[in-house]
Chain A
């Protein structure tokens, strides 16, 4: 090879790098490790996670759900894992058809007309929705429900800070839902969107129809954020309730908890806004022989064509995660998804009753919930938490760091994976902790 190139050593190929900045030592990194050494080392690191083996009722934007074996098995095929973005459609029909099916599934679940091929995760999807609403309406004020996940609100604020968009927060009522009176006071002709999460950060279902009507009354878009995508299997589709843009986190559809990523941002909208959607879109077409095929399309919205005038800077997104969601949803099917969502509601309802029966525990909000709910304790949370953790239980996520008014409260999540025995164990432990 050197002879063909006409050099004597590989080092000559690096002659273009100024000598004074060349690294004249080895990098200070450990290794090299053999495969066996690596596996041992990383197993050791994983074992330092004391969370393993703890009975967890954590939710709050990441949900512990059953993943059918077929999802792992099929999604781990090298043909799906090791290609890149399908720039060459003739040799990427597998990925493209899967994306087309994914877009269809998202449309069916949200009741909206068009869905993109994926976004990074829920919080950035919400931020992209705000930027999209600003483009559609050319207005620079956005209303964020205070019941929107705090990390989503923070991400939106990070994104809009340099763009002259003002974010105003809408408070919540004792039901744990957006305050409609405050919403109508804060809505004005400069508002591009109302962003509301349902089920919201307290697990409570919002009245999307009323919020949409209020937003439309001032010419703003109604943006629904869905952080627990499984709820779409049972609750009315946002698109049927007047919502213009639905977006959020689809980790519940076959993605492991994985300490927060990679997850799956999704976005769907009414077809009027298709040219303002961020991210990749896959469309159907035909080849020169008239056969159906799929391609990436409407790319004039995108950065590689439009550069600084693109609808978003997104390039690489979450294709493999979208594939997992597609396999998950097609495996669950119409009835399976509904039943799974129903089991979540039922288990959460049973748990809420069982826990509220413990003296010193009270349900904080009166609104209807999907699979998580807020409990308030008669003793300080750190003491309750410590007592439960001593018994190997994580009862939930404390809310005070983000909602100072919710002292001694925790968000408790109960999915289909929690058994009656586990719920009863939590109730018993709580009884002892609050005695």
Chain B
């Protein structure tokens, strides 16, 4: 498409009386006096009136202003932007699934309950946990659920405790989730290898600490090799180990969190299990637990009775619902389809190839970009802009310049312990050619940073819009269209 074409807002295309949809005539006799006494609206001021052609062109044009995985390499670190197999879309859209009402009695939705029970069991096997709930709607929702479970388990033991320990490399949702669960957060400093410092942990780990929230591999892409000792330290003081499973893509079929002492884990189906990210959701954040925590899982639980499935609401110790109905069922179907497609060998190959790809990129770019932590990388590697600082170029400029090469930039907003971070996660679905295209672009950009830094600072140059004024957006927020005059 031509860069200069601007797409108006739909409201600016609207003209009185236009319609895209005709409904069948009402087939029941009209009842007079319905909604008597209820204030009705005369109009929805400004609401659009357009034709179907206009809707179709509007969204087709908008779609062309998006970069996406289907278009190319998307190494957004910690987000696992792998290719989404198309058959999974077909499965989730099967009318036999998509048309089912969540209030239908259990005996009429046995297929759906089988799907839920099967995925719970398979995730349990993959993560080494005793039970899973599929209710949480996203990773952060899983974290919140997980922390509520830990709190409930501690209360059942006698005392909820006060603190949650979180490494300084953690994603921002971790402290936020712990806080909403009523815990105060204590930060644990990382050591020079980018991992949890055992001495600091030992000092912080008192009988007032409810849990350690750990991401493994952590946000540097580094495996916490001391995980078993860490877990023992936490368990010895009566705490629980919560694992943020955002980076599970490095581990499938290689090692199971439950085998390394993890008590509670959430898994992002939209990362490891390839369900599409949808421009920011829907995701899904199932939570797995060890046996002690099982009684506290959200209700209802799905239980097998012979070859039938039933819903169990009678769980007196349950934390209760964390949302309506059963979870992101459409996402759950995609994840189940993905696991069945890959099988055991495929799942192991996912982790192997993801880790291989990340290490290939790391080795190839080591001479061009600064690597703060030289500890071995798993599925992602975190460079920084330190080597480019002399030219006045930041990670933001490098990222924006990557767009000119037809590539998506890496993650920049964290980990906070690497200033000017460039967190690169290639995933396993990229070919050697794609990796090399990215590596070549990064090398050219490193050279440009030395020779022509303005080219980076003014990037991107090829997009529909150029660099946007985010300060203005926040200072004088315009959060909706309004009719002029």
Contact = CB atoms under 8 A, between A and B. Distances in A.
Interface in A262-276: 262-263, 274
A318 B87 contact: no
B104 A419 contact: no
A17 B376 contact: no
Contacts of B112: 49, 259
Interface stretch (B59-67, B232-240, B385-393): B59-67
A285 B465 CA distance: 11
A155 to B, nearest CB: 5
A152 B143 CA distance: 20
B255 A21 contact: yes
Contacts of A343: 23, 26
A100 B49 contact: no
A313 B140 contact: yes
Interface string A342-361: 01011101100100000000
Contacts of B265: none
A43 B278 contact: no
B108 interface: yes
B420 interface: no
B344 A18 contact: no
Given A56-B104, A97-B65, A317 B110 contact: no
Interface in A26-43: 26-33, 35, 38-39, 41-43
Contacts of A297: 470, 473-474, 477, 479
A423 B138 CA distance: 39
Interface stretch (A137-145, A187-195, A213-221, A319-327): A319-327
B455 interface: no
Given A62-B102, A349-B34, A82 B276 contact: yes
B326 A259 contact: yes
A285 B472 CA distance: 6
A408 interface: no
Interface stretch (B197-205, B287-295, B357-365): B357-365
B339 A258 contact: no
A79 B84 CA distance: 12
Interface in A95-125: 95, 97-98, 100-101, 103-105, 107-109, 113-115, 117-118, 120-124
Interface string B109-124: 1111011000000100
B328 interface: yes
Contacts of B437: none
Contacts of B321: 123, 151, 154-155, 158
Nearest to B184: A308
B280 A117 contact: yes
B363 to A, nearest CB: 5
A162 B144 CA distance: 11
A274 B477 contact: yes
B283 interface: yes
A49 B19 contact: no
Given A16-B378, A46-B97, A323-B278, 14 more contacts: A2-B356, A21-B256, A27-B125, A29-B126, A64-B101, A85-B279, A90-B460, A101-B10, A124-B141, A161-B148, A236-B41, A260-B327, A262-B281, A320-B280
A225 to B, nearest CB: 12
Given A124-B141, A285-B469, A235 B59 contact: no
Contacts of A149: 324
Interface string B50-77: 1010011011101111111111001010
Interface string A274-313: 1000001111111111011111011110111111111011
B6 A90 contact: no
Contacts of A155: 320-324
Nearest to B145: A158
Given A93-B62, A320-B276, A47 B111 contact: yes
A315 B173 contact: yes
Contact of A162 (B76, B111, B151, B328): B151
Given A58-B104, A91-B408, A98-B62, A261 B137 contact: yes
A29 B347 contact: yes
Contact of B465 (A58, A164, A293): A293
Contacts of B342: 31-32
A336 to B, nearest CB: 5
Interface in B136-189: 137-141, 143-144, 148, 151, 160, 171-173, 175-182, 185
B432 interface: yes
B100 A51 contact: yes
Interface stretch (A70-78, A166-174, A178-186): A70-78
A84 B20 contact: no
9 A-B pairs closest in CB distance: A260-B325, A46-B96, A320-B278, A31-B343, A260-B102, A32-B343, A78-B70, A162-B182, A262-B282
B29 interface: yes
5 contacts: A38-B337, A48-B111, A68-B21, A281-B477, A337-B47
A354 B403 CA distance: 62
A175 B48 CA distance: 36
Contacts of B352: 10, 13
Interface residues of A, number: 191
A331 interface: yes
Given A1-B432, A308-B179, A291 B465 contact: yes
B478 interface: yes
Contacts of B176: 303, 306-308, 310, 312-313
B66 A158 contact: no
B20 A298 contact: no
A76 B279 CA distance: 12
Contacts of B458: 288
A83 interface: yes
Given A47-B96, A123-B323, A78 B49 contact: no
Contact of B38 (A6, A93, A235, A330): A235
A280 B473 CA distance: 13
Contacts of B400: 88, 90
Contacts of A27: 125-126, 252-253, 344, 347-348
A234 B376 contact: no
A94 interface: yes
B319 interface: yes
Nearest to A106: B480
A155 B325 CA distance: 11
Nearest to B160: A162
Given A29-B339, A101-B9, A298 B94 contact: no
Nearest to A286: B469
A159 interface: yes
Given A70-B52, A92-B66, A35 B110 contact: no
A286 B103 contact: no
A183 to B, nearest CB: 19
A79 B104 CA distance: 34
A309 B222 CA distance: 27
A279 to B, nearest CB: 10
Given A14-B355, A307-B175, A30 B343 contact: yes
A162 B330 CA distance: 31
Contact of B103 (A62, A104, A209): A62
A84 B277 contact: yes
A83 B84 CA distance: 10
B325 A319 contact: no
Contacts of B97: 42, 46, 49, 258-259
B378 to A, nearest CB: 7
Nearest to B47: A334
A8 interface: no
Nearest to B261: A21
A287 B100 contact: no
B181 A85 contact: no
A79 B59 CA distance: 10
Given A46-B111, A70-B52, A260 B34 contact: no
Contacts of B403: 88, 90-91
B320 A97 contact: no
B463 interface: yes
A376 B105 CA distance: 19
A121 B111 CA distance: 23
